[in-house]
C-alpha cells in the first residue's frame, strides 16, 4: 500500500492486488460484536516532528490520523512482581534504568548513545550493526543478566530473541523510535490503510480485493504480468511483491535456480497468539502504556485500546504472546487448544488486571494458522524472516531479485513492523523509478 501511494503520487499507474476481502494484511481490522478489532497493529514510535518516522508519514499523508501519545513511561515490564519502566527519552532511558541498576549507568549511556544514532537511519551503520551480535554487544557493556532481559523484552514479543542469531541492527531499530516518542491510534489500525487507499485512488490507482495472485508470468527474463486465482491476468511494466519471499518465488512460472532455493531455506520468526477481549462497559479504566509480563522466560504484551467515546474506560484489551512453530494444527483439537491457551493468557494477565476474566463480555482468538491464512507467511510467522548476524547477506534481503522488474517489499527484508515496512517501501520505490526512467 505504501509503495502504491509513493508511485501513484509520482505519476505511475498502479494496481494493488489483495488476496483477502480487506486490504492491509497485518494492518487490517475485523468487526466482531459491533467493534473493530486490530489484527497486528498496537503502537509505533518516532512520528513527532523532526523524528525518525515523521518525514515518511508526512510524505504518506498519515499524520492527520488521530494519533494518541502514550504516557512518559510507555513500556512497563513486570518481572517477578517488580515493575521496570522505560520512558520516551534517551536521557530518561538511562536515568530510569540506572535508578534500578546504578552500577550499569556507564553501559546504559553507551546503549542510549547508539540508539540515538540509530534514529538517523544512517545506511553506513547497517554493515556494522547487521553483522554484530546483539547479545555479545549487550554483554560487553551491561553485566547484569536481568537488565539485559529487560532491554530485550519488547523484542521478545516479535519472536526475534534467538540469542545465537539476533543482530544488533534488529534490536536497535525495534527500540529507538519509541524512545523518541510512542503513539497509539485512537481507532483501529485500518485507519492507516484506509487513508493510503483513499489517496491511491485519488491519484488514479486501483485496488482489487479477492484477487489472489497465483502466478508471475515471465517472458524473455522479465515479469510481463500476473495471473490470479480464477485465471484473470493483469499486465504491467514492473511487479512489487509484499508476499513472503519464499511464497513469491513459488509463483514464478520459470525456474530461478539458486535464488529460489535460498528464499525457501530461510528461517522465520515465530508466530503470535492473540486474545482480543471486548470488555463490559465501565469495568476497566484505560491505561496509556504497554504492559509486558514476563514469566518463566516467556513474555506477554497487554495492550489497551484508546476509548473513542470520551470516557475513561476501555472497551478492548489485547493479549499477545509468541508461540513455537507447530504449536497449532487444524485438527479436532484446534479450537480446544486455542481456548486453553486463551484461558492461560487471561489468567496470566490478571497479574496486572485483577478480576479481568469477570470483565470480559466477548473473547476472540487468532493463532499463527490465522496469520498464515491472511498473510501467506510460512507457519504463520508474524514478523517474517529471522535475521542472523552471522550471515547478514543471506538474511537481510535486498528489494531486488534476479528478475530486473520483479521487486520485493515488506517486513521480511530489512526490519519488521511499521517502521521497517515503511523504510523498505521507499527503498523498493527507488528501484522502480530506476526501471521506469
Q: How many CB atoms lie within 10 A of CB 284?
A: 20
- pLDDT grade, residue 435 (50/70/90)? low
All cell numbers assigned to 140: 560487553
For residue 5, name the pLDDT band (cuts at 50, 70, 90): very high
Residue the block writes with cell 521507499:
426
C-alpha 300/C-alpha 348 separation (Å) is: 8
Cβ atoms of 21 and 220 within 8 Å: the answer is no
Q: What is the pLDDT of residue 161?
A: 63
- The answer for residues whose C-beta is within 8 angstroms of residue 312's C-beta and 6 or more apart is 285, 286
**pLDDT higher than threshold 60 for residue 186:** yes
How far is residue 48's CA from residue 85's CA, in Å, rounded to a whole number?
Answer: 21
pLDDT in tens, 6-64: 999 999 999 999 998 888 888 888 888 888 887 777 899 999 999 999 999 999 999 99
Q: Helix, strand or coil for residue 295? A: strand
For 357, phi then psi, to 5°, come to -60, -30
Domains of the chain, start order: 2-41+189-267+377-436 (3.50.50.60), 68-183 (no CATH), 271-323+329-366 (3.30.310)
pLDDT digits (tens, 9 = 90+) for 284-336: 999 999 999 998 888 999 999 999 888 999 999 999 999 987 888 889 999 99
pLDDT tens digits for range 372-395: 888 888 888 888 899 999 999 899
Res 434: pLDDT: 66
**Assigned C-alpha cell, 434:** 530506476
Q: How many angstroms separate the Cα of 410 from the Cα of each of 187, 242, 383?
A: 24, 5, 10
Provide the pLDDT for residue 27: 82
Measure the CA angle with vertex 313, ends 308 and 317; round to 5°: 85
Give the DSSP H or E segment for 172. Answer: helix 168-180
The phi, psi pair for 287, rounded to 5°, reads -115, 130
Output the average pLDDT for the chain.
Answer: 91
pLDDT digits (tens, 9 = 90+) for 236-284: 999 999 999 999 999 998 878 899 999 999 999 888 999 999 999 999 9
- Altogether, the residues listed in the chain come to a count of 437
Amino acid at each position: 500500500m505504501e509503495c502504491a501511494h509513493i508511485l501513484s503520487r509520482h505519476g505511475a499507474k498502479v494496481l494493488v492486488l489483495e488476496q483477502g476481502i480487506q486490504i492491509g494484511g497485518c494492518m487490517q481490522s475485523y468487526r466482531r460484536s459491533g467493534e473493530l478489532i486490530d489484527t497486528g497493529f498496537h503502537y509505533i514510535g518516532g512520528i513527532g516532528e523532526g523524528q525518525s518516522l515523521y518525514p515518511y508519514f508526512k510524505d504518506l499523508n498519515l499524520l492527520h490520523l488521530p494519533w494518541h501519545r502514550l504516557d512518559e513511561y510507555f513500556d512497563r515490564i513486570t518481572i517477578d512482581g517488580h515493575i521496570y519502566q522505560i520512558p520516551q527519552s534517551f536521557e530518561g532511558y538511562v536515568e530510569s534504568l540506572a535508578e534500578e541498576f546504578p552500577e550499569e549507568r556507564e553501559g546504559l549511556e553507551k546503549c542510549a548513545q547508539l540508539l540515538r544514532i540509530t534514529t538517523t537511519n544512517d545506511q553506513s551503520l547497517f554493515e556494522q550493526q547487521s553483522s554484530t551480535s546483539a547479545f555479545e554487544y549487550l554483554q560487553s557493556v551491561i553485566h547484569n543478566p536481568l537488565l539485559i532481559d529487560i532491554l530485550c523484552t519488547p523484542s521478545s514479543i516479535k519472536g526475534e530473541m534467538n540469542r545465537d542469531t539476533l543482530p544488533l541492527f534488529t534490536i536497535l531499530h525495534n527500540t529507538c523510535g519509541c524512545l523518541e516518542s510512542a503513539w497509539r491510534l485512537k481507532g483501529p489500525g485500518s485507519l492507516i490503510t484506509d487513508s493510503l487507499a483513499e489517496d491511491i485512488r485519488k491519484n488514479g490507482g486501483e485496488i482489487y480485493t479477492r484477487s489472489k495472485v497465483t502466478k508471475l508470468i515471465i517472458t524473455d527474463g522479465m515479469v510481463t504480468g500476473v495471473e490470479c486465482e480464477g485465471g484473470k491476468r493483469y499486465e504491467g511494466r514492473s511487479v512489487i511483491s509484499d508476499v513472503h519471499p519464499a511464497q513469491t518465488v513459488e509463483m514464478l512460472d520459470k525456474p530461478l535456480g539458486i535464488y529460489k532455493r535460498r528464499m525457501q531455506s530461510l528461517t522465520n520468526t515465530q508466530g503470535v497468539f492473540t486474545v482480543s477481549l471486548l470488555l463490559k462497559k465501565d469495568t476497566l479504566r484505560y491505561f496509556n502504556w504497554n504492559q509486558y509480563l514476563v514469566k518463566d522466560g516467556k513474555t506477554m504484551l497487554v495492550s489497551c485500546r484508546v476509548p473513542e467515546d470520551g470516557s475513561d474506560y476501555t472497551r478492548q484489551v489485547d493479549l499477545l504472546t509468541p508461540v513455537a512453530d507447530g504449536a497449532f494444527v487444524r485438527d479436532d483439537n484446534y479450537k480446544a487448544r486455542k481456548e486453553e491457551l486463551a484461558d492461560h493468557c487471561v489468567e496470566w494477565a490478571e497479574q496486572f488486571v485483577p478480576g479481568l476474566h469477570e470483565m470480559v463480555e466477548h473473547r476472540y482468538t487468532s493463532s499463527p494458522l490465522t496469520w498464515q491464512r491472511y498473510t501467506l507467511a510460512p507457519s504463520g510467522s508474524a514478523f517474517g524472516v529471522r535475521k542472523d548476524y552471522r550471515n547478514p547477506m543471506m538474511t537481510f534481503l535486498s528489494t531486488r531479485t534476479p528478475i530486473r522488474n520483479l521487486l520485493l517489499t515488506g517486513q521480511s527484508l530489512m526490519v519488521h513492523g511499521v517502521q521497517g515496512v515503511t523504510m523498505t517501501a521507499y527503498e523498493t520505490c527507488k528501484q522502480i523509478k530506476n526501471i521506469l526512467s
